[in-house]
Amino acid sequence: MTACAERAHRASDGELNALYQQIERRLSDDADTRRRLVAAQRAWVAFRDSECQFMASPAQGGTAYPMVYSGCLADLTQKRVGDLRRLLQCPEGDLACPVPRGG
């Protein structure tokens, strides 16, 4: 089960990185927004890791900890994947979307 949770996390992380790179490319002409993206992603990674340490804390020191921790990482990473996907598909003119439409 631990190996399965770790595979799920690695797959989610790969998907996340690919989407993040697409967003970075779209922001290549906007250095300020790109810096904000980098800061937001770093903050999100710190949140994800801390949140999963907290959520897995009941299993701390036990053999189930890696499975619980990796499962949490996979779940939160998939949620972020959904967020990044939505940013890549914002409708034209959406003022709440910092990522320009792709061409």
Q: Which tens digits make up the pLDDT trace of 41-71? A: 999 999 999 999 999 999 999 999 999 999 9
pLDDT in tens, 87-97: 999 998 899 99
Q: Domain 2-16+32-88 - what CATH class?
A: mainly alpha
| Helix intervals (H) in 27-95 | 31-55, 65-88
- 48, 57, 70, 76 from 64: Cα distances, Å: 19, 10, 10, 18
